[in-house]
Amino acid sequence: MADCPVCLAKKEDEDTLVSTIKTEDGMVVVPKEHVAILEQTPDDVVGAMFVKANLALLQMFETGIQGANLILNNGVTAGQALPHVALQLVERKENDGLFPLWQPKQLPEDAMNQIQEKMTEAIQNTDAPAEDKPKTESKPQTKNEEKKENAFIRRVFRRVP
Ligand SMILES: [Zn+2]
């Protein structure tokens, strides 16, 4: 789209489906081709946006941020201000004062306990011998790759509230 500010913006890097744009408080992942709303975005592009966001977050966490909000305002009613789909990655640090009006919903104690039990079970299953794991991968992993993956999963779960 010729007059779309996202299409005209200088991109930080390019790949075949998505681009990133640095912002004051993080970055934005956008489809390379113009699409106005998420429902118009091809599935492979939606997937590429989240893969790119995930890789970017890994780099961002190395710089000392403590969390991130992924925001995709889809539609004017939802606060979409740009005419182009954009996944915002907002860097967060404790007591940074961002989103003071966006209070998290408080779950009852029993619901929190159920979530904790499920997460604990999931973490424990990552330590199970390979033969107990679901067969979801097509190629076998070496013990070293498996240890790296388990360490990664544990690191990710440590950031979970
Ligand atoms: Zn555009």
How many beta carbons lie within 10 A of that of residue 104, not counting itself?
A: 7
pLDDT at position 48 over 90: yes
Residue whose pair of structure tokens reads 């995709």 in the numeric block: 72
Write down the pLDDT at residue 149.
73
- Interval between CA 27 and ligand 1 midpoint (Å): 16
pLDDT at position 43 over 70: yes
Write down the pLDDT at residue 10.
73
pLDDT at position 30 over 90: yes
**For residue 69, how far is the Cα from the chain centroid?**
8
Q: Strands across the sheet with 26-31, in order? A: 13-14, 18-23, 26-31, 87-92, 67-71
- Interval between CA 56 and ligand 1 midpoint (Å): 21
- Interval between CA 98 and ligand 1 midpoint (Å): 27
Ion ligand 1 residue ranges (Cβ < 5 Å): 1, 4, 6-7, 34, 84
Taking residues 28-43, report their average pLDDT.
Answer: 94
- Interval between CA 31 and ligand 1 midpoint (Å): 8
Write down the pLDDT at residue 143.
77
Threshold 0.85, pTM exceeds: no
Write down the pLDDT at residue 158.
60
- Interval between CA 42 and ligand 1 midpoint (Å): 15
Which has more pLDDT, 143 or 72?
Answer: 72
For the stretch 80-121, pLDDT in tens is 999 999 999 999 988 888 876 566 678 888 988 898 898 888
Domain segments of the chain: what residues?
A: 5-92, 109-158
Domain 5-92 homologous superfamily, CATH: HIT-like (3.30.428.10)
